[in-house]
Each structure stands twice: as structure tokens, then as C-alpha cells.
Amino acid sequence: MTHIISLTITLSLLWLGLSGHVEPLMLAIGVASVFLVLFITLRMEAVDHTRYPIHFTSSLFRFWRYLVREIILSNIDVIRRILTPGKSISPQMITLPLPQKSDLAKVMYANAITLTPGTVSVQLDRDTIMVHALSKEAADALETGEMASRVPDDEASS
């Protein structure tokens, strides 16, 4: 039930933000479309907490703050490597363990790896992940497992 309510609120705010109309006719059409989307989503039985994770919002924001810092730092590192003349890269292919329990957390970890320039997740298996890193340093930083431990994991749906 909480999921349905918060999905309704999110959809309504999204519609209002994207259209900006407040005339009665447009609002009525907006409400109708929100309910249509809600109806289709419920029929698809797509309202569960994997697709719509409201249960770890606060740890998610903490993770995002960490991720933004990592993205900026690794951007600077890759930019330096691009602008350094001569051979500046040492590509590595490494396999890392996936300590996360839920599938959602695994996907978030893989996406976080790809989102930071210098590392790209190449293949995701049940409990390992294959990563291509642009430099030895980037590979070593991932191998410390710091980023893995920061991904918010869902204890309940292991």
C-alpha cells in the first residue's frame, strides 16, 4: 500500500513538473493519466520493492554523495591520463567478488563501477563481476572493496 501511495505521489509530481499546466481540463487529463499508469503498473504486478525501492532512501542518498565524489575524482584522473603525452594507461581486466546479497544492490554496484570513468563492468555473474580498468591504480582502488561496502544492501530480500 505504501508503495502504491508513494508511486501515485511521484507520478503526479512528475506530471506537474513536466507539463506546468494548472488549468482544470489539463489537470483532469493529468489525473486520468496518472491513474491509467497506476492501473497498468498494478496489472503488471510491477509494484514491489525491487522495482520501486523506497525502503532504503536515506542510505541511498549517503551512497550517492560518496558516488559523486568518486566520479569527480576519477574524472580528473582519466582527464590527466588523456592529456599526458606518451603511454599513460595500463589496462587491466580483473574479477571481483560481489558481496551484496540482493540483485538490486549488485546492479547498483555494477552501475557505480561503470559510472566512474576508468572502470567499466564487463560481465556480471551470480557472485563475481569482471571489470575492465584503465589503469593499475583504478583496479587496485576497486580491489580494496571500499565501493562495494558502501552500496546500500537489502538485508530482508537476500
Partner 1 sequence: MILEMLSWVFLVAGGLLGIIGGIGIHRFPDFFSRLHAAGITDTLCAALILSGLGLQSGFSLVSFKLVLIFAFILFTSPTASHALANAALHGGVKPQLDD
78 near partner 1, judged by CB under 8 A? yes
Q: Give residue for cell 560481465.
A: 123
How far is Cα 118 from Cα 75, in angstroms, rounded to an integer? 8
Contact set for partner 1, span 97-156 (CB under 8 A) = 110-112, 114-124, 130, 132, 134, 136
How far is Cα 142 from Cα 113, in angstroms, rounded to an integer? 8
**Is residue 52 helix, strand or coil?**
coil
119, 133 in Cβ contact below 8 A?
yes
Selected range binding partner 1 among 22-30, 53-61, 86-94, 97-105, rule: CB under 8 A: 86-94
Task: State the minimum distance, in angstroms, from the CB of residue 1 to partner 1.
Answer: 26
Q: Which residues bind partner 1 (CB under 8 A)?
A: 14, 17-18, 20, 71-72, 75, 78-79, 81-83, 89-93, 110-112, 114-124, 130, 132, 134, 136
